[in-house]
């Protein structure tokens, strides 16, 4: 069995390879935080654990590589933006595999938000599969703002072996106060 310590980061690629036009910019920001020696942020990036997949790779090759990455993951971090609910690409498939095959909890980090107390108010950012799993109580989620300290806390707090308590979980106001929010 694989050692499951990675964080599988999912986002909408927006059908482009231009990082400025894609939600990959938020993933790249997380990687920049982790690489900066002056910032206390690190995570085991599941996407670094397998060979890279080229843009012209066959879909079957891409899926196989993504499954291998999920198999080594303790959680999925979903970057939620206004693009997330757009049903293109493989985001819904990734969520389905994370939940049904690997039992991963999903950390939903909302770009452009600091504090999340009422996640259902942002359900228009949920990919179709996430919305279905939440409606059917088939997934455990924590909903947070896209802030470095909150992402770090959620990555440390939750895993397939330590799921959030509820289908839709948020941190308390007390936790947000600890981080100056």
What's the pLDDT tens digit per position in 4-35? 778 999 988 766 666 566 788 998 899 999 88
> Which are the contacts of 102, defined by CB distance < 8 A and separation ≥ 6?
70, 71, 73, 160
Alpha-carbon distance of 141 to 115, in angstroms, equals 15
Q: Say yes or no to pLDDT of 170 above 50.
A: yes
Residue 175 contacts residue 147 (beta carbons within 8 Å): no
| Measured CA distances, 105 to 7, 57, 82, 162, 163 (Å) | 10, 28, 22, 9, 6
Q: Mind listing the pLDDT tens digit for each residue in 59-116?
A: 787 788 888 888 889 999 999 999 888 776 789 999 999 999 999 999 999 999 999 9
Counted residue by residue, the chain has a size of 181
- Reported as a pLDDT band with limits 50, 70 and 90, residue 164 is very high
- Reported as a pLDDT band with limits 50, 70 and 90, residue 139 is very high
**Amino acid 5: pLDDT:** 77
**Amino acid 132: pLDDT:** 97
**Amino acid 51: pLDDT:** 47
Alpha-carbon distance of 174 to 59, in angstroms, equals 44
Tokens 């999912």 locate to 10
Alpha-carbon distance of 34 to 66, in angstroms, equals 21
Domain 6-14+29-178: give its CATH architecture.
3-Layer(aba) Sandwich (3.40)
* Among 116, 114, 163, 146, CA closest to 9: 146
Tokens 């259902």 locate to 120
Q: Mind listing the pLDDT tens digit for each residue in 30-54?
A: 999 988 889 887 765 555 544 455 5
**Amino acid 46: pLDDT:** 54
Residue 84 contacts residue 118 (beta carbons within 8 Å): no
Alpha-carbon distance of 36 to 42, in angstroms, equals 9
Q: Mind listing the pLDDT tens digit for each residue in 121-131?
A: 999 999 999 99
Burial of 63 (C-beta count, 10 Å sphere; 0-12/13-18/19+): middle
């Amino acid at each position: 069995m694989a050692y499951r310590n990675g964080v599988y980061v999912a986002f909408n690629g927006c059908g482009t390879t231009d990082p400025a036009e894609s939600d990959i910019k938020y993933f790249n920001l997380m990687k920049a935080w982790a690489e900066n020696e002056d910032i206390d942020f690190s995570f085991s990036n599941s996407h670094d654990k397998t060979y890279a997949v080229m843009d012209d790779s066959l879909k079957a090759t891409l899926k196989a590589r993504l499954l291998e990455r999920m198999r080594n993951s303790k959680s999925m971090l979903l970057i939620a933006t206004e693009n997330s609910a757009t049903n293109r690409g493989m985001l819904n498939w990734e969520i389905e595999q994370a939940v049904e095959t690997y039992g991963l909890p999903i950390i939903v980090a909302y770009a452009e938000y600091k504090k999340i107390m009422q996640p259902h108010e942002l359900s228009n950012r949920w990919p179709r599969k996430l919305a279905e799993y939440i409606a059917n109580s088939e997934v455990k989620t924590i909903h947070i703002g896209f802030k470095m300290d909150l992402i770090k806390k959620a990555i440390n707090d939750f895993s397939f072996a330590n799921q959030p308590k509820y289908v839709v979980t948020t941190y308390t106001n007390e936790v947000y106060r600890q981080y100056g929010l």
